[in-house]
Amino acid sequence: MAGFTEHDKIAEMAGIPNRISNEINRFIDDIDPPKEFEEHNTERKIFVCGHLNVSIRTLIESAGSVKDPLGERGKKKWVKEEDLKWLLATRKEYIKCYYLHLAVDNIYDNKDRIKNRGETIDNCINNWGKSHAVIVPGTEPYLRDVLEFLRNNIETRRYILS
């Protein structure tokens, strides 16, 4: 995963305010998330197994490590769906940054394949957009903006891969 400094710089290139980038970084990486975001983790209940209502935090802790329970948040489809529904209802201005953070992490995680095995960054971006990006109704324009930004911004691509 890319670090906070990289995420903040790329978000700045995309025109996202530093405050939003910082809060999304802390939320996705579960490092002292802002109060409202932590309430989403603990208060938002998900219907599971036909009868249980449990929090995102509880489900992630049962599936993840004790040390870093939400560290794999970006790899869990059902968590991304809940996050996007919540952001759409409460903080639409954060959705673009949420998608950008996950896309940048994906590119960063695949940079060895891009540098050493000939995979193109466009292929990596397109694959993430088609296969890994979760969409809930209403978030499509934000995802399109992020994919377009990454495809068209050579400077950002160099920054991620360096």
Domain that holds residue 79: 4-161
pTM of the model: 0.88
| Residue of 29, 26, 11, 13 whose CA lies nearest to 97 | 11
Residue entry with tokens 């160099």: 158
- Residue indicated by tokens 């949420």: 98
Rounded Cα distance, 15 and 93, in Å: 12
Over residues 38-56, the mean pLDDT reads 76
Mean pLDDT of the chain: 86
pLDDT band of 1, cuts 50, 70, 90? low
Q: What is residue 68's predicted lDDT score, i.e. its pLDDT? A: 46
Given a cut of 80, whether residue 89 has pLDDT beyond it is yes
Domain count, the chain: 1
Q: Which residues pair with 48 in a beta bridge?
A: 52
Instruction: Indicate the pLDDT class of residue 29, thresholds 50, 70 and 90.
Output: confident
